[in-house]
Structure formats: structure tokens, C-alpha cells
Amino acid sequence: MLSEKLRECGVVGAGGAGFPTYVKAQSQVEYVIANGAECEPLIHKDAELMEHFPAEILAGMHAMMAATGAKTGKFGVKSKNADALEALKHNLKSDRIEFVTLGDFYPSGDEYELVYTATGRLIPGRDSAPGGLGGEQRGDALQRAPGGARRSGDAEVSLGVRRGEGAEIVLGAGGDAVSRPAGPGRRRHVDDFGVFVSGIMMGTLTFDLDDVLTKTTGGLIVIPRDHYLITRRTRPRVEMNRIGKSACDQCSYCTEFCPRYLLGYEVQPHK
Ligand code: SF4
């Protein structure tokens, strides 16, 4: 049975929360929805996987549809990832899977947003906590570098590899990843950088390079320690609160334009 295989292999969702995929394979559902939106800025591992492993991904989707009794599969891909979409279409051998072209905005891959776009339905419940989708197992270290950084790429590495090694892969030999020079007689070392794990929006910032890449690592963004993104993220909470209070005039636009609020969920960020 698919659920047993998934459980034995320890397959978990690739969205970050690591929800065990075998639980989903035990359900009976109408639709199986694949989330290929990949909304985190600068992260592009899903686009690479869809472009280079389309047959495997579609086979996985068919297997999940068979296990769950789903008659229809919906596959959300952003219109900007035309190469990935083309590769998937080229490998599609069934008319039971439909592609849903998503706009290039954040957060078109939010599961509430995606489910509504794909099916016209709302996920039941007042709570809008993320549930997690997908089931992909790669320890890819990849990024598109922001601001001063200029090197990006992806590499296939084993789970359990140290973050520091992943960061070295991203930086490349000699630490040439940033456009700002390292200074006379000084080469930049990986310790000069901070690492956003799995994205700058929903990911975590770490300086611990001894921890390892796991099944839920969605990519590494390696940027200099004095980069704005790092100083912003490392501000003390009391300082962030002070800035928030002084900058927010409670216009409530962030709520009125919040995609989940517009779908009817009780999400009111201005509060
Ligand atoms: S209510 Fe929201 S949109 Fe308006 S100022 Fe405050 S944070 Fe910004």
C-alpha cells in the first residue's frame, strides 16, 4: 500500500512543517492538489524539480490519486515557471490531471488560496492555520542571492549534510558570492554570513552552521552578516514593537487586502 511505503520511507511534506505524507494517502478525497507555486522569494528548487523530474512528480501524483480515490488532480504552477509547466505538460499521459496557472504574487501558493483557485471551494473551519501539502524528499541547497549577493544555483546533496557545507556549496570556492569585496588580504569565509533556511519570509535565520540539512530544508540563502535582511531579522522584539507602533496608523489596509481575509477567514493582521 502506498501509505505504508510512504511511512516506511519517512516521506514528509516539503512545505516546511514536515507533515507526514502517509496520513494523506490514507484519506479518501475528491481532488489531489499539487502545490508547485513556491512563493518564497529567491527560492526556486520546486521549479527546478518540476522541470527536471516531471515524470517522477506526475507518477507520484497518480499514485496518490489512486490511493485516495481522487478522480481529479489539480497541479498549481506559476505562469512565470513556463519551462517547468512545459516539461510537466510534455510528460502528462492522463486527462485526469489539470494544470492551474497561478499568478506571480505572494502568496498564491498559500494552501487556502490555492484550494480556492483550483476548486472554487474554501477549506472548512474558522482557523486558517496552514495544513501543509506535497511530499518531496530532497536536501537541495540552492538560492537566488538577494542584494549584494550574486551567485545562485542548486546542488543535489544528501540529507544530514552540515548547513556549513551547504552554505559553502552556495558560496562556491573562494567565497565569491558577494559583490562587495572582502577587503585587502582577506577572503570571505562562510562564518561571515548568515543563512536563511527555507526562505526569507517564512524561513528561519541561523548562524549555526553545524546543524544539518533535513527533509524540510527548502533551500539556503547565504548573505553577509551586515546585510539589511539580517539586521532587520535580528532586531529585538521590543524594538520591532516600537517601530510597529510608530509606523502603523491602523488604516487596516493590510487586513482588507489580506488574501485569506478576502476569502472570508478571520485573519486581521492590523490587530
Ligand atoms: S493597518 Fe496594516 S496597512 Fe495600515 S499602516 Fe498598519 S500595518 Fe500598514
Residue having the nearest C-alpha atom to atom 7 of ligand 1 = 248
d(C-alpha 17, C-alpha 156), whole Å: 21
d(C-alpha 156, C-alpha 179), whole Å: 25
Provide the domain count of the chain.
3
Cα 124 to Cα 18, 26, 170, 201, distances in angstroms: 22, 20, 41, 26
* Beta-carbon count within 10 A of 234 CB: 11
Residue 150 located in a structural domain? no
Atom of ligand 1 nearest to the CA of 253: 3
> Distance from the CA of 249 to the center of ligand 1, in angstroms?
6
Q: Does 202 lie in the same domain as 218?
A: yes
pLDDT given for residue 84 in this prediction = 96
Residue 167 located in a structural domain? yes
pLDDT given for residue 143 in this prediction = 37
Backbone φ and ψ for 128, nearest 5 degrees, come out as -115, 25
> Distance from the CA of 206 to the center of ligand 1, in angstroms?
28
Between residues 163 and 259, the one the model is more confident about? 259
Q: If pLDDT is split at 50, 70 and 90, which confidence band does 65 have?
A: very high
Ligand 1, residues 249, 254, 256: which to mutate, most atoms within 8 A of Cβ? 254
Q: If pLDDT is split at 50, 70 and 90, which confidence band does 163 have?
A: confident
Q: Ligand 1 within 6 A of 28 CB? A: no
**Mean pLDDT over residues 48-57, rounded?**
95
- At 69-122, the pLDDT tens digits run 999 999 999 999 999 999 999 999 999 999 999 988 888 888 899 999 999 999
Q: Does 171 lie in the same domain as 206?
A: yes
DSSP H helices, the chain, are 2-9, 21-25, 45-52, 54-68, 82-91, 111-119, 163-171, 228-233, 237-247, 253-256, 259-262
Q: Does 263 lie in the same domain as 225?
A: no
Between residues 248 and 125, the one the model is more confident about? 248
Phi-psi label, residue 25: left if phi above 0, alpha if psi -120 to 50, beta otherwise? alpha
pLDDT given for residue 134 in this prediction = 33
Atom of ligand 1 nearest to the CA of 250: 1
- At 113-122, the pLDDT tens digits run 999 999 999 9
247 CB-near residues (< 8 Å, 6+ apart): none
> Distance from the CA of 38 to the center of ligand 1, in angstroms?
26
Residue having the nearest C-alpha atom to atom 2 of ligand 1 = 254
Please report the sign of the dihedral spanned by the C-alpha atoms of residue 9, residue 15, residue 16, residue 17: negative
Q: Does 226 lie in the same domain as 242?
A: no
**Contact between residue 29 and residue 231 where contact means Cβ atoms under 8 Å apart:** no
Residue 145 located in a structural domain? no
Q: Does 62 lie in the same domain as 25?
A: yes
Residue having the nearest C-alpha atom to atom 5 of ligand 1 = 248
Tell me what percent of the residues of the chain surpass a pLDDT of 70: 82
| Domain region containing 52 | 2-126+135-140
Q: If pLDDT is split at 50, 70 and 90, which confidence band does 175 have?
A: very low
> Distance from the CA of 103 to the center of ligand 1, in angstroms?
24
> Distance from the CA of 125 to the center of ligand 1, in angstroms?
26
pLDDT given for residue 138 in this prediction = 35
pLDDT given for residue 218 in this prediction = 87
Residue 158 located in a structural domain? no
Residue 95 located in a structural domain? yes
Assigned C-alpha cell, 157: 546533496
> Distance from the CA of 110 to the center of ligand 1, in angstroms?
21
Q: Is the pLDDT of residue 183 over 90?
A: no
Q: If pLDDT is split at 50, 70 and 90, which confidence band does 255 have?
A: very high
Residues β-bridged to residue 154: 142
Between residues 48 and 166, the one the model is more confident about? 48
pLDDT given for residue 252 in this prediction = 95
Q: Does 49 lie in the same domain as 100?
A: yes
Q: Is the pLDDT of residue 135 over 50?
A: no
Q: Ligand 1 within 6 A of 257 CB? A: no
